[in-house]
Amino acid sequence: MDEAEQVSQLIGDIYDASLDPALWPGVLESISGFVPGACVNLFSQDAVRHSANVHYIHGMAPPYIQSYNETYIKLNPSFPATLFFDVGTVICQTDIMPHDEFRHTRFYKEWMRPQGWVDAMAAVLEKSAVSCAVLAVARKEREGLIDGGARRRMALVVPHVRRAVLIGKVIDLHKVEAAALADTLDGLAAGMFLVDATGRIVHANVRGHAMLAQGDVVRTDGLRLGTGQAQSEQALRDAFAAAASGDADIGAKGIAVPVSAAGGARYVAHVLPLTSGARRQAGSRYAAVAAVFLQEAAVAGTTPFETIAWHFKLTPAELRVLLAIVQVGGVPEVAPVLGISETTVRTHLQHVFEKTQTKRQADLVKLVASYMSPLGG
């Protein structure tokens, strides 16, 4: 099977998993073989609670999941740095810190190396102010360090995984029989519309009909789904036309199309192609090429870490030291975590004190906590 055929089959499987979450472990195994990588992990992590939730995983032993949650989540130098990158961007370890420096961290020496891993890359699928959902791939010696080819193949997969995850959240990850998609989702809180390649509505659920009747978010000219906003309408039209050509052609189109209501409320639309895989039966039943899910958007803002870095003009290295001091402890504890000398930690820490106008580590803890609180400065 050549790469184009692999991609086509893999993408179809990814979208089927958006309707049946039991398929995700097999999908991650396929991603592992395609990229390639030794471990593929779909998880979410919270910077405030210091917690991680592994949703689906391939290639990691349970004891390492436990030790990450108990100990190494605070020692991972890649987080919260990943929150600084745009959603959907493939992030290699070297985008965060030099590989030689990374190999001297406790995280690498005590958690990655015992598993035989030499490098990793990830992409943020969704993020809030303090947490994110991530697709991560780790490689062993046999796969080598992350190179341009692996990064390119990861980039082919990420938009489709992101779409599937977002749609899975909309339908609350309950198994949906693709053939009965419209009937099953009729009581969904989000608006759901089945459309053909031109955007003609062939079916809408109860919430979708209510939205059309109100006319402040979406509307119809009697046939086609519209928003009354040129940019979002064009984005949806492009996604519908691409969906008609198959899963792979839709790419990043229609993953999260912003739509504004007449009253100012913000909504987001997700487009799921129905022309391949198990979803094809649902599409052919209604002469539809795509399903559109429309729901009110959650408010997403700048992360507290980005705000702190911007406010006090901290460099990436200074920010890493600040967060390590807060999460891990004093200079002797932080140095091996970050893979740098105690002298270097002290130098960065002194710069942080000067820029934040603080004198003690306890002051830094209070400073970071104030940015995490919705009532903080």
Residue 374 has a pLDDT of 44
The three-state secondary structure class of 268 is strand
Please report the pLDDT score of residue 377 as a whole number. Answer: 39
**Given pLDDT bands bounded at 50, 70 and 90, which one contains residue 376?**
very low
Judged against a pLDDT cut of 80, whether residue 49 lies above it is answered with: no
Residues 174-211: tens digit of each pLDDT: 555 655 666 666 667 789 999 999 999 999 998 999 99
**By the 8 A CB rule, do 273 and 167 touch?**
no
Residue range 72-84, pLDDT digits in tens: 998 898 887 888 8
- Specify the pTM: 0.80
pLDDT of 3-38, one tens digit each?
888 999 999 999 989 888 889 999 999 999 999 999
How many whole angstroms separate alpha carbon 58 and alpha carbon 138? 10
**pLDDT single digits (tens) 96-149:** 989 999 999 999 999 999 999 999 999 999 887 667 899 999 999 999 999 999
**304-372 is classed in which CATH architecture?**
Orthogonal Bundle (1.10)
Q: Please, what is the Cα angle at 316 between 310 and 319, to 5 degrees?
A: 70
CB 87 within 8 A of CB 127: yes
- In the chain, residues under CATH classification 3.30.450.80 are 3-170
Q: Where in the chain is the domain with CATH 1.10.10.10?
A: 304-372
pLDDT digits (tens, 9 = 90+) for 278-296: 788 777 777 899 999 999 8
Q: What does the alpha-carbon distance between residue 40 and residue 140 come to, in Å, rounded to a whole number?
A: 12
Reported as a single tens digit per residue, the pLDDT across 213-252 is: 999 999 998 889 999 999 999 999 999 999 998 888 898 8
Alpha helices in 251-315 (DSSP H): 280-286, 304-312
Q: At 53, list the tokens.
A: 């939730």
Q: What is the predicted pLDDT for the residue at 180? A: 64
CA 94 – CA 102 distance, rounded (Å): 8
Q: Which fold has domain 178-296?
A: Beta-Lactamase (3.30.450)
The CATH number fitting domain 3-170, selected from 3.30.450.80, 3.30.310.10, 3.40.50.1980, 3.40.50.300: 3.30.450.80
Q: Which residues pair with 199 in a beta bridge?
A: none
